[in-house]
Structure 1
Amino acid sequence: MMLQRILVVDDEPQIQRFLKPALTAAGFDVETAATAADAKRLAATRAPALIVLDLGLPDGDGKTVIETVRAFSAVPIIVLSARDQEIEKIAALDLGANDYVEKPFGIGELLARIRVALRQAEPGPAAAPIRHFGAITLDHEHRRVLVDNAQVHLTPKEFDLFELLAANANKVVTHRQALSQIWGPAHQDDAQYLRVVIGQLRAKVEADPKLPRHILTEAGVGYRLVD
């Protein structure tokens, strides 16, 4: 059985020395790169199953790697960076990164996020017409949502937003992504619209809207729908 290949892009030797044996011990084949140029080349020629990417590279911003790779591949990309500003996280996720982990980090958490990203990347059957998130049922075909098998009334915007979150289940949907797709590109900075509809959705589908279990907030970045 071929091992899944992970490309680690980081110019800090200590990070590479730590990650390569840790990922190898976890059962992965590991390639490393220290520059944006090498990262782009290896992503194109070595077909990694996943990329772990630092943003601070000596020959350019790691976000250019995301942009280049997304032009030809849907390979999962997990950003691993010391940059903790919201604007950096949002920019990386908007460009196509799947997840964002801040340094310093725990190897256990990083491995868990890698496993999740790889599972999500596996080809599977077409989206089921009915999906379940705990007690919440989403019926795509009939455009309805049920909680404990009882239908709840959602406005068109509420349903469209819930459907978008469900299509990206367990992934972060950024504020800009949601606003652009639900309200249109002209409203991608109108975060208040999104906050209002998220609040309405939680009130209708969560057992305790103040302590949501399914529609989770990623502070400063967006929202994530989990099972």
Structure 2
Amino acid sequence: MRSRGWNHRAKLYFSLTVILILVAWTYTWFSREVPLHHHLLIPFAFVTLGMAIKYGDQVFDLNIGSKRKAILLSVPIGLLMGALIFLDEGSATIFIGLLLALLIASKYDNLAFKLGFVVAGSITVLAVLNGNPFHLVGALAVMGAAFADEVLSDRGDRMDGGTMALVLKERPVLKVAVLVLCLVGALPTLLYFIAFLGFDTGYSFVEQISLSGGIGHREA
């Protein structure tokens, strides 16, 4: 992917995403709180999910790029999220909450999102029936925070610019919620807060490059 044509905010979010991956690696290396596969996988997986989810969102919302690619991408992305939910307690706490919040907010509004939800949701049901661990109160807190951010983000979209609109569209409630869950032990390590910030900056990065023509032209 070429950087030519990226706007300043796209370059900022890309830089922040790379920095957050490096910070996550550094933190886990020195803290020794998680095993090596967490050290390597969690930051990359969260960033990948954030970027892929926003890609599908922009393709359908802005009618740019390839809907076929977005639909095909939704299945492996759903599998990745489902695998994290099935195998990792901290990831399960975050993503179960997100899946439920987006369902309540009626955000599964295109075929790619619906397919991804069915795949990830099916694996989530299997994980719950299998007794795989996740923090129920933490997942409910994530759900509430994510739903609140959806409402605030929609309000920010209706505002005529300004600092407050930018803040509302950056999903501040969920960021604070994930940090608090890490601090109180509902999430096992601060790695999840750092990785979630990477999820969010990856999401915002794709949003910005789509606005500057980086993922395809608007279809007729």
What TM-score bracket applies, with the shorter chain setting the length?
Answer: under 0.3
Task: Answer 1 or 2: higher relative contact order, Cα 8 Å, separation at least 6.
Answer: 2
Please say which structure displays the higher CA radius of gyration: 1
- With structure 1 as the length reference, what TM-score do the two structures score? 0.26
- Higher strand proportion, which one? 1
- Higher helix proportion, which one? 2
- With structure 2 as the length reference, what TM-score do the two structures score? 0.27
